[in-house]
């Protein structure tokens, strides 16, 4: 493995506090709790994309062995929150509410039986007759119907047409297919009614508090009567940021059979019913001077959404602040199709937008004959061009240099198709990433006992990055105590509130709260005596414990600064001149996300994001058969995600300079920037290797065949 001054080996730094539970199989995920009287639910999905259910035959399913109930819109108990649209979880279909079908695979029946096998078999016996509607599922046929969702604004600064009169121009369209999160753990819930107005769920969620609130609103019961447990979450990447219809279905089912119901989505349902990164068309026009100063940028995006929710990302927003440019026009529109709703997926909007912008900038660099890094440096800015505010902390220029040195950028040829090795074409590519660095309100309870133990408690979830590990590392550092003496409790809605684990906010939000709680403990200890042996201090003062509860949130700094995390990705690809196979040869990712709290998990997070970005670049694509409006590759055999053989060693480097303006710990999130930019870097490297510019992802061999340069 390669190491440098800003990198660490995979074995370096503190290991995960929950590592032992995860490697022994003792970590329990939502479907794995032993609950008395458990029953099993299996959903039946629609086989048309649009229309109404004319009739649904559940008799055979009901008569199948072990079946306890078959629930459809015809016999479902009324869900109180569904009666007023305001209380329906955002963008949700109201499950079993009426006979409307709005996408192919939409759940229309729930079969509950005393074993999983019996429920699964009985579900296969449910049949439906439909009144077919005419569906539209192809985005590129519906670009004209695109509209601006209410909460979006079209953005302009300076002269939007300035790019047209520039001496050097790039004007291109870019297409991103739908990509599906596909965490390894499928969505799962165990739903139990403890009383008429009391619920406990073990549920896969990125936010136990949000899930608690949503369930309470949907069933119109007091929030505190809903207990949400989500101790371990087997990945999510955005698709557990909201309460989905299947979660409500499980609760309806548990009410009907008066027993707890376990409902695990099938992998196919994971493709159709819990969101995806929306298929998006983008058009970019850039104009520059002959020496590479950007004169104008236009960036327009149209993403697909469902017929029942105006879900909109903001891919074009990256063009507002990534580079210094006086004349910018952007818009983010959506087009409604008869498909399931998209949802936030790792690096939402920005991953899509950066692919287009960073590809376009690469195209410009070849026209100008300026090195792509140099072109970016000529348009570098320390001030947010949109707000005019200084960035709270931006060391992206350091990141460019670190990455360039590590990948060996000086070995790149500026002439595409001119480097070869062992009969393969060799290409170098780079692209940057950016994501907003938000800090959300978070509350942490810190209890220090006279046995020298610190217990930190907050209702955050950990979908994988290692939240507990980072918080323990931070507290150990702040209080100067051993990590073994610290416990971090989370994934439980009865704990003090924390934000959802999404949008790279947890380190900044919960981390700040943990830090402030530890600082307050230190102050209280100082009042007790002059010693850093806190347990002894407590004993001397006859106190069994000391407890603080800290509410932490962003302050006035948000008015003074523009806040972002940054990344840059460098890759070397080998492209086979005959088959068009693209092989990742070398990858270096550099994060500029403030101070690094937990090096080992930070490194893994960057590598993991890079790998999902490689999937985005080279293989991931959800394909619809538009005749039926149905996904054709809704399984992990046909929808390709990167496997071990696709991935080389990846070097993760950190600028590791504290952002002293953003929060008390100087750390920012990096979950999104780990991925954002990677697809552009790969596309740019493929161009460098072959002279073929692929603007519609993924870059599969068929898009290269026929145009590949000859290798002697």
Rule CB under 8 A: choose which of 26, 290, 578, 705 binds another protein. Answer: 26
CB-nearer residue toward another protein: 2 or 220: 2
CB-nearer residue toward another protein: 1 or 74: 1
Q: Residue 124, interface with another protein (CB under 8 A)?
A: yes
**What mask of x and - would describe binding to another protein in positions 451 to 490, judged by CB under 8 A?**
------------xxxx------------------------
Tell me, by CB under 8 A, how many residues bind another protein: 89
Q: Residue 121, interface with another protein (CB under 8 A)?
A: yes
Rounded-to-integer distance, Cα 163 and Cα 558, Å: 32
Applying the rule CB under 8 A, the residues between 594 and 633 that interact with another protein are: 600-601, 603-605, 607-612
CB-nearer residue toward another protein: 446 or 675: 675
Q: Count the Cβ atoms, other than its own, within 10 Å of residue 200.
A: 20
Q: Minimal distance in Å, beta carbon 104 to another protein?
A: 9
Rule CB under 8 A: choose which of 6, 39, 41, 45 binds another protein. Answer: 45
CB-nearer residue toward another protein: 188 or 562: 188
Length of the chain: 712
Q: Where are the beta strands (DSSP E) in 475-563?
A: 486-489, 545-552
Stretch that binds another protein, among 58-66, 89-97, 535-543, 621-629 (CB under 8 A): 58-66
**What mask of x and - would describe binding to another protein in positions 236 to 265, judged by CB under 8 A?**
-x--------------------------x-
Q: Minimal distance in Å, beta carbon 1 to another protein?
A: 7
Which DSSP string corresponds to 242-281?
S--HHHHHHHHHHHHHTS-EEEE--HHHHHHSS--BPPEE
Query: How many CA atoms lie less than 13 Å away from 190 in the CB half-sphere?
Result: 19
Instruction: Tabulate helix, strand, coil % of the chain (nearest 5).
Output: 30, 25, 45
> Which H or E element spans position 650?
strand 650-654
CB-nearer residue toward another protein: 213 or 483: 483
Rule CB under 8 A: choose which of 81, 89, 183, 417 binds another protein. Answer: 183
Rounded-to-integer distance, Cα 95 and Cα 560, Å: 45
Query: What residues contact 436, with CB distance under 8 A and at least 6 apart?
Result: 503, 563, 564
Q: Residue 228, interface with another protein (CB under 8 A)?
A: no
Cis peptide leading into residue 698 (ω within 30°): yes
Q: Give Cα separations from 703 to 415, 572, 580, 617 (angstroms).
A: 20, 19, 8, 13
Q: Are strands 328-337 and 294-306 parallel, antiparallel or unpaired?
A: parallel
Both tokens of 656, joined, read 């590791």
CB-nearer residue toward another protein: 118 or 595: 118
Q: Residue 347, interface with another protein (CB under 8 A)?
A: no
Applying the rule CB under 8 A, the residues between 568 and 597 that interact with another protein are: none
Q: Minimal distance in Å, beta carbon 42 to another protein?
A: 7
Which DSSP string corresponds to 403-443?
HHHHHTGGG--SSTT--EETTEEEEEEEEEEEEE-----EE
Q: Residue 4, interface with another protein (CB under 8 A)?
A: no
Q: Minimal distance in Å, beta carbon 645 to another protein?
A: 4
Q: Residue 555, interface with another protein (CB under 8 A)?
A: no
CB-nearer residue toward another protein: 13 or 158: 13
Both tokens of 36, joined, read 């008395």
> Which H or E element spans position 573?
strand 564-575
Q: Which of 179, 247, 363, 672 is catalytic?
A: 672
Q: Minimal distance in Å, beta carbon 464 to another protein?
A: 3
Applying the rule CB under 8 A, the residues between 390 and 429 that interact with another protein are: none
Burial code of 642-669, b = ≥16 C-beta within 10 A, e = fewer? Answer: beeebeeebbbbbbbbebebbbbbbbbb
Rule CB under 8 A: choose which of 6, 31, 69, 163 binds another protein. Answer: 31
Q: Residue 205, interface with another protein (CB under 8 A)?
A: no
**Active-site residue, 179 included:** no
Rounded-to-integer distance, Cα 276 and Cα 270, Å: 9
Rule CB under 8 A: choose which of 69, 101, 162, 233 binds another protein. Answer: 233
Q: Minimal distance in Å, beta carbon 646 to another protein?
A: 8
Residues annotated catalytic, as ranges:
672
């Amino acid at each position: 493995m390669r190491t440098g001054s800003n990198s660490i080996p995979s074995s370096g730094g503190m290991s995960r506090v929950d590592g032992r539970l995860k490697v022994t199989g003792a970590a329990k995920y939502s479907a794995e709790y032993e609950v008395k009287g458990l029953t099993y639910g299996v959903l039946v999905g629609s086989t048309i994309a649009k229309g109404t259910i004319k009739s649904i035959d559940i008799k055979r399913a009901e008569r199948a062995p072990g079946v306890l109930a078959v629930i459809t819109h015809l016999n479902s108990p009324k869900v109180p929150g569904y009666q007023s649209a305001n209380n329906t979880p955002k963008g949700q279909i109201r499950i079993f509410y009426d006979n409307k079908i709005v996408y192919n695979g939409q759940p229309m029946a729930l079969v509950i039986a005393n074993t999983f096998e019996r429920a699964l078999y009985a579900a296969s016996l449910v049949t439906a007759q439909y009144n077919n509607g005419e569906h539209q599922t192809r985005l590129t046929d519906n670009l004209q119907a695109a509209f601006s969702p209410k909460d979006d604004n079209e953005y302009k600064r300076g002269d939007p047409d300035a790019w047209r009169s520039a001496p050097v121009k790039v004007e291109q369209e870019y297409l991103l297919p739908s990509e599906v999160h596909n965490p390894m753990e499928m969505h799962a819930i165990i739903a139990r009614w403890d009383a008429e107005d009391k619920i406990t769920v073990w549920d896969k969620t990125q936010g136990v508090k949000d899930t608690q609130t949503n369930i309470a609103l949907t069933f119109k019961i007091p929030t505190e009567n809903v207990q949400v447990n989500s101790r371990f979450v087997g990945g999510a990447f955005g698709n557990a940021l909201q309460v989905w219809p299947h979660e409500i279905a499980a609760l309806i089912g548990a009410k009907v059979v008066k027993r707890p119901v376990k409902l695990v989505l099938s992998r196919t349902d994971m493709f159709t019913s819990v969101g995806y990164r929306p298929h998006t068309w983008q058009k970019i026009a850039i104009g520059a001077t002959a020496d590479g100063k950007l004169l104008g940028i236009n960036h327009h995006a149209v993403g697909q959404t469902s017929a029942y929710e105006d879900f909109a990302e903001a891919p074009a927003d990256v063009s507002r602040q990534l580079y210094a440019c006086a004349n910018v026009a952007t818009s983010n529109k959506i087009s409604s199709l008869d498909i399931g709703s998209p949802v936030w997926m790792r690096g939402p909007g920005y991953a899509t937008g950066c692919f287009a912008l960073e590809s376009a900038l690469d195209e410009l660099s070849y026209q100008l004959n300026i090195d792509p890094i140099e072109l970016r440096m000529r348009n570098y800015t320390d001030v947010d061009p949109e707000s005019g505010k200084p960035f709270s902390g931006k060391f992206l220029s350091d990141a460019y240099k670190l990455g360039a040195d590590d990948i060996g950028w000086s070995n790149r040829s500026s002439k595409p198709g001119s480097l070869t090795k062992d009969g393969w074409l060799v290409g170098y590519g780079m692209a940057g990433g950016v994501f907003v660095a938000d800090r959300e309100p978070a509350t942490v309870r810190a209890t220090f006992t006279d046995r020298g133990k610190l217990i930190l408690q907050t209702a955050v979830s950990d979908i994988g990055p290692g939240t507990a590990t980072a918080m323990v590392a931070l507290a150990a550092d702040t209080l100067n105590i051993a990590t073994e003496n610290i416990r971090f409790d989370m994934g439980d809605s009865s704990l003090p509130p924390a934000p959802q684990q999404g949008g790279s906010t947890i380190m900044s939000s919960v981390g700040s709260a943990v830090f402030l709680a530890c600082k307050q403990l230190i102050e209280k200890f100082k009042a007790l005596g002059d010693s850093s042996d806190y347990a002894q201090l407590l004993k001397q003062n006859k106190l069994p414990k000391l407890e603080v509860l800290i509410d932490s949130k962003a302050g006035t700094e948000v008015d003074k600064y523009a806040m972002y995390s940054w990344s840059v990705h460098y890759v070397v690809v080998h492209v086979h001149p005959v088959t068009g196979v693209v092989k990742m040869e070398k990858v270096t990712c550099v994060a500029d996300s403030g101070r690094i709290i937990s090096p080992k998990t930070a490194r893994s997070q960057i590598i993991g994001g890079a790998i999902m970005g490689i999937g985005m670049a080279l293989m991931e694509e959800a394909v619809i058969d538009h005749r039926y409006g149905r996904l054709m590759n809704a399984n992990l055999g046909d929808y390709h995600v990167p496997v071990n053989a696709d991935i080389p060693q990846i070097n993760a480097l950190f600028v590791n300079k504290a952002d002293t303006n953003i929060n008390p710990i100087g750390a920012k999130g990096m979950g999104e920037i780990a991925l954002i930019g990677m697809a552009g870097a790969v596309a740019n490297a493929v161009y460098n290797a072959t002279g073929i510019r692929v603007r519609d992802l993924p870059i599969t061999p068929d898009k290269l065949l026929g145009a590949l340069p000859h290798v002697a």
